[in-house]
Amino acid sequence: MVAMAAAAWSLAAAVVVVMLMAAVDVEVAALNTDGLALLALKFAVSDDPNGALSTWRDADADPCGWSGVTCVQGGGGRVASVELVNFSLAGYLPSELSLLSELETLSLPYNLLAGQIPVAITALQKLAELDLAHNLLSGQIPAVIGRLVSLSRLDLSSNQLNGSLPPAIAGLPRLSGVLNLSYNHFTGGIPPEFGGIPVAVNLDLRGNDLGGEIPQVGSLVNQGPTAFDDNPRLCGFPLKVDCAGEKEDPRIPETNAGLNPGAAVEVRRPPKRRSSPTVPILAAIVVVAIVAGIVLQWQCRRRCAIATPTGDEEKESSTKDKSGAVTLTGSEERRSGGDEGEVFVAVDEGLGLELEELLRASAYVVGKSRGGIVYRVVPGRGPAVAVRRLSEPDDGDGSDSGWRRRRAFETEAAAIGRARHPNVARLRAYYYAPDEKLLIYDYLSNGSLHTALHGGPTASPTPLPWSVRLSIVQGAARGLSYLHECSPRRYVHGCIKSSKILLDDELRPYVSGFGLARLVAGAHKTAHSKKLGTAACALRSGALSALSYVAPELRTPGGMAAAATQKGDVFAFGVVLLEAVTGREPTEGEGGLELEAWVRRAFNEERPLSEVVDPTLLGEVHAKKHVLAVFHVALGCTEPDAELRPRMRAVADSLYRIG
């Protein structure tokens, strides 16, 4: 019936155009079809106090010169855009607008247009932006609005529209910018289908008369309370209004059931121009290199005391005291050419630590991986620092390729040093030589989130309370979001896991390991290896659990060597969130499943929350809603389809609102 009605409107519109051609001057015959359709809009306007339509003349050949009208370039007078903003036009919207088949933008906000939105307008297949905000429109939104397959921005705010929200809006395949239905008279509940609206869309449902519980599905979980304000009968998260009859031990609601995954495609930002890499500390490098060559020539070419954990039988000199400490220098023998190609750069001017002092200080091994060794170095003065020695093959002696690798290392290390955020581990200095690379960071004494959750040498015997866990993941999300957006290079971490989130004395989180994937890959001879992704990071770690952090699209045969992506980081962070709320390792799902797959199955089966949450959190009754909300954010991050995953900025915002 609706389709028949729309067809009837289109037929009626065509008849009216024919009648207009017969009723007006003979010169009107020169005006094309789009012009006639716009004349119908002019005739529907009963009051034009500002003369906005005074240039709309029936004697013109086409409407391309009319005010507020833009035509398709080289399109034979076809209209692409009609924009009449804040002209106080009174009247109604005629169905003849459906004849503007090339129309992409219809923007008529801040006028006095009344009546209903014509159903025939849904025939505009190329319409990308529809803005009718701040008018006097009434009635319901056409149920067939989902036919506007190109629509990316819809603003119907501040009208007198009523009825229920049409679920078809959630099915608009290209919706990406704004969906503003605020300050109307909509009633009923929020359709669960709205959970399929992409996270990138700015949803606004304020100032209506909507009621019931906000569905905890899809992108609705990631919305803030402002999206639902001024709806007195709405309840549930993220509003601070409890729904009547809420159970003490809530069951996990079904996620994204019946939704169309294709409706939740996240719009990509246009590519940004890449800025040329710069090294603002070239002068410092030259000066330090000269000084190192003269004063420290016989000291800085020493190998670390402990062999690399790659299984090689390489022998290295070391000095060791009775306490088990080693030094980063060993033999006092001078190496020939020791000063060639060496660089020591203090990224932080306040470091106050010289290379000689660093190399002679006591060092304790605190971590090993196939990518290198991490030491806690205790200098004679000042606080302890963490020194990561990268495991890389020899670059050679002064070859041209070695020089290029040194410059690449300096560029990447400088980029790491520029990353300054309260929740990102801070690079204090770095050292480069053909066969040895050191990165110096602040030493964080409380280990990592992994040891705090699953046990380890630095773990506390008391399980982390919920408030601390939430604070840690909130801070880590902010740090990772900063890395994703702090540079036009669109940085990717590439190796996110709970062991990469370090904790200080006050359990503040710091994302560590940023840039290491590219630095380690730089030791390989092929350019392709510079693009090693999250899967390659997992393989380098040597731990089976590391593969559980790898997104599905990177586990395919082709994906194992693919470049790391920000969406891959989001997936890995979602697994970290699941660790925090379940207390389980990424491989410890039941029934032979990985943790992410097991939790997703539990959600789909609506099992009690008590079966999946960390048992140590069950006593914190006040935290149940927050725990459930984090589960939803985690499952959004670990969507199998990368396009459905939110950006880290949206994840950080969602976690912040939970607290």
Peptide bond just before 646 cis, omega within 30 deg = no
552-581 confidence digits (pLDDT tens): 888 876 555 567 889 999 999 999 999 999
d(CA 498, CA 575): 9
245-294 confidence digits (pLDDT tens): 654 444 555 444 333 333 333 333 333 333 444 444 455 555 455 545 54
Q: Which of 146-160, 417-431, 439-453, 534-548 is least confident?
A: 534-548
Domain boundaries along the sequence of the chain = 2-264, 281-443, 458-659
Give Cα 205 distance to the centre of its chain: 23
Report which of 32, 38, 122, 22 is spatially closest to residue 81, judged by C-alpha positions: 38
Residue 295 predicted with pLDDT over 60? no
pTM value is 0.53
Q: For residue 245, give the DSSP letter.
A: T
| CATH number, span 2-264 | 3.80.10.10
Q: Please, where are the H alpha helices in 30-136?
A: 33-44
Q: What is the pLDDT of residue 559?
A: 52
Q: What is the pLDDT of residue 280?
A: 43
Q: What is the pLDDT of residue 210?
A: 95
Residue 103 predicted with pLDDT over 50? yes
By CB atoms closer than 10 A (0-12, 13-18, 19+), residue 101 is middle
Task: List strands edge to edge, sheet with 129-131.
Answer: 69-71, 79-83, 105-107, 129-131, 153-155, 178-180, 202-204
322-338 confidence digits (pLDDT tens): 344 455 553 333 233 34
Residue 303 predicted with pLDDT over 70? no
Query: If you classify domain 281-443 with CATH, what class do you get?
Result: alpha beta
3-state secondary structure 186-211: EEECCCHHHHHCCCCCEEECCCCEEE
Q: What is the pLDDT of residue 573?
A: 96
Q: What is the pLDDT of residue 260?
A: 38
Tell me how crowded residue 588 is: count the other CB atoms within 10 A of its CB: 16
Residue 593 predicted with pLDDT over 60? yes
- Quick one: tokens of 496? 């996110």
d(CA 534, CA 536): 5
> Was domain 458-659 assigned CATH 1.10.510.10?
yes
d(CA 440, CA 385): 7
Residues 332 and 319: beta-carbon distance below 8 Å: no
Q: What is the pLDDT of residue 43?
A: 92
Indicate the average pLDDT of the chain: 77
d(CA 141, CA 109): 17
114-130 confidence digits (pLDDT tens): 999 999 899 999 999 99
Average pLDDT, stretch 467-473? 94
User: Which segments of 476-546 are extended strands (E)?
Assistant: 501-503, 509-511
359-387 confidence digits (pLDDT tens): 777 777 877 776 678 888 888 777 888 89
| pLDDT confidence tier of residue 321, bands split at 50, 70 and 90 | very low
